[in-house]
């Protein structure tokens, strides 16, 4: 029987995915978060829990709950930590 020692703590794992998106994309408010949709060559939709963090060099056009990203070359970085997915959008180059 073990009387002394430290309890092992579970480390929060972080999963990171990166995508290069060419031709622009949309960010739409959805129940429970936001949906990011683009076409390359198939239509791809990813759900995130909070509004994506967008860097200064990215051009946007907002129409109500829909945000159109006008910059044609972007990098989308998805970080999943503790069951929540966050998105970061930057301009390529």
Q: Does 2 score more than 60 pLDDT?
A: no
Whole-structure pTM value: 0.81
pLDDT at residue 70, as a whole number: 94
Q: Does 6 score more than 70 pLDDT?
A: no
Instruction: Please state, as a whole number, how many other Cβ atoms lie within 10 Å of the Cβ of residue 38.
Output: 19
Question: DSSP letters of 4-34?
Answer: S-PPPPPPPPEEEEEEEEES-EEEEEETTEE
Residue pair 53/87 in contact (Cβ under 8 Å)? The answer is yes
pLDDT at residue 1, as a whole number: 52
Quick one: how many helices (H) and strands (E) in the chain?
A: 0, 9
Q: What is the average pLDDT value for the chain, to the nearest integer?
A: 88
Phi-psi map region of 82: left, alpha, beta (phi>0 left; psi -120 to 50 alpha): left
């Amino acid at each position: 029987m073990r009387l002394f020692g430290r309890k092992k703590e579970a480390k929060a794992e972080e999963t990171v995915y990166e995508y290069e998106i060419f031709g622009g994309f949309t960010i739409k408010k959805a129940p429970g978060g936001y949906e990011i949709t683009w076409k390359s060559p198939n239509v791809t939709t990813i759900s995130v829990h909070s509004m994506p963090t967008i860097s200064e060099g990215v051009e946007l056009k907002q129409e109500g709950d829909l945000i159109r990203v006008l910059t044609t070359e972007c990098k989308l970085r998805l970080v999943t930590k503790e069951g929540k997915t966050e998105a970061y959008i930057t301009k390529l180059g």
